[in-house]
Amino acid sequence: MTDTPSAPERFLAAYTTLRLGGPAGTVTTAVHTDEAVETVRAATAAGRPLLILAGGSNVVVGDEGFAGEVLVLRDRGVETVGEDQTGLLVRVSAGEPWDDFVATAVANGWSGVECLSGIPGAAGSTPIQNVGAYGQEVAHTIEAVHAYDRVADEMLVMTPEQCRFGYRSSVFKHNDRYLVTAVDFRLPRSGESAPIRYAELARSLGAEAGDRVPLGLARDTVLKLRAGKGMVLDPEDRDTWSVGSFFTNPVVSAEFFGTLGEMPHWPAPDGTVKIPAAWLIENAGFPKGFAGAGVAISGKHTLALTNRGGGSTAALLDLARVIRDGVRERFGVELHPEPVLVNCAI
């Protein structure tokens, strides 16, 4: 159905965790998959600009908004569609709130996504970004992504290889060809977590890397860690008015890394090196709380750029540019934004 929302609701700030973004031309809310597909098909046939939103947790919308049609996914559902000796195959609708699904998985003894607790947004967005945290990525458990292909006008079931998952990336990112309609996860039936991979989480659990812990304990610990960094949505806490991490951790060649001096780092694929963006930002002179015009670096986490309640997208991106340019000048390392930028750029 196509909504005719009130003036405030036409502003895309109402649909994003940043609470920023100008007006939409029209807003269509789909509560069933076929409604979403028909909306995309009609817009494609007519040549109308179309923006698809679900949780709005990884998108920055310009102050001028989006003049075309905005499709808001609100389809819900978690269904077990298969089971064998290795575990269950669980199909999750694109509009299902991600953390609701993780809570369901933990409650039912389905292992493999517990360290992704507390991440805002919808399930259909997770393969787009290859969402990850605390040593887990959705690519570790995704068996298939169901999608509508706007070019071929057909429904697809895409394998992980076809999804081309990478670090915070996939074939879906920065590509409007596909509408993700559901995601299939292969999850072991177990009361224990997947092996703990992330050092900070292991320390908080009093565990060693590779240990397994009860699912509920893993979830509760991750939620506490995220809340301490302002990464669990709270309408009363402006530090959570963000898109989470604004910049990805840069990956550089081993040769270039050798010119940088001592700093935290991790091995990355093909002999490259990953550097924590938060460390680069803070050591380039941008501490927690560093402020712009109505926006600021979170007081809890250097990677989160926040709307303090009176900000604008322009001000947020100005702050992002200052940080990016400062890191480049200090270290010669280029930071890249993690969220999708709509009608705006840095």
User: Catalytic site residues?
Assistant: 168, 245, 338
Strands 305-307 and 132-133: unpaired
What residue spans of 149-275 are helical by DSSP H? 160-163, 199-205, 215-228, 254-257
3-state percent helix, strand, coil for the chain, nearest multiple of 5: 30, 25, 40
Angstrom CA distances, 209 to 194, 213, 230, 262, 271, stand at 11, 11, 25, 24, 22
Angstrom CA distances, 61 to 66, 224, 326, stand at 8, 29, 24
The neighbour count for residue 287, using CB atoms within 10 Å, is 11
3-class secondary-structure state, position 310: coil
Cα Rg, the chain, nearest whole Å: 20
